[in-house]
């Protein structure tokens, strides 16, 4: 009889006890909230690229010419709260959205859009 799914194996418990600190979720939850905000911002860029031939042409032309000031100017027209760190290569563009919780880097969201 063939099973429709693989069997479930349980992971063996180590033979020694480890002491872990108590779980504190405040930073974890705050970081997740910042990530959600970044996700909303990051969605706006590919959405504009997808829906505007004029924007896409200007953006791609500026990026291919390594005209970073023009790329940033175009990104500002989208209205994101976080300005991404932009890099490009012959295949496409890479946008890194990042946030901090106080002085600590809490989350990064990387969006890569290909044009080749």
Instruction: Express each pLDDT in 104-113 by its tens digit.
Output: 888 999 999 9
- State how far the Cα of 29 lies from the Cα of 39, in Å rounded to an integer: 15
Tens of pLDDT along 58-105? 999 999 899 999 999 999 999 999 999 999 998 999 999 999 988 888
Q: Is the pLDDT of residue 3 over 60?
A: no
Residue 13: its pLDDT value, please?
A: 61
pTM score, whole prediction = 0.77
How confident is residue 49, by pLDDT bands cut at 50, 70 and 90? very high
Residue range 51-65, pLDDT digits in tens? 999 999 999 999 989
């Amino acid at each position: 009889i063939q099973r429709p799914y693989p069997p479930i194996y349980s992971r063996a418990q180590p033979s020694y006890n480890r002491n872990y600190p108590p779980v504190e979720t405040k930073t974890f939850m705050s970081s997740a909230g910042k990530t959600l905000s970044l996700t909303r911002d990051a969605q706006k860029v590919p959405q504009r690229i997808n829906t505007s031939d004029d924007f896409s042409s200007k953006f791609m032309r500026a990026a291919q010419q390594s005209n970073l000031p023009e790329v940033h100017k175009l990104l500002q027209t989208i209205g994101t709260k976080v300005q991404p760190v932009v890099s490009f290569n012959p295949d496409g563009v890479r946008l890194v959205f990042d946030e901090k919780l106080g002085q600590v880097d809490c989350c990064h969201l990387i969006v890569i859009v290909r044009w080749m």
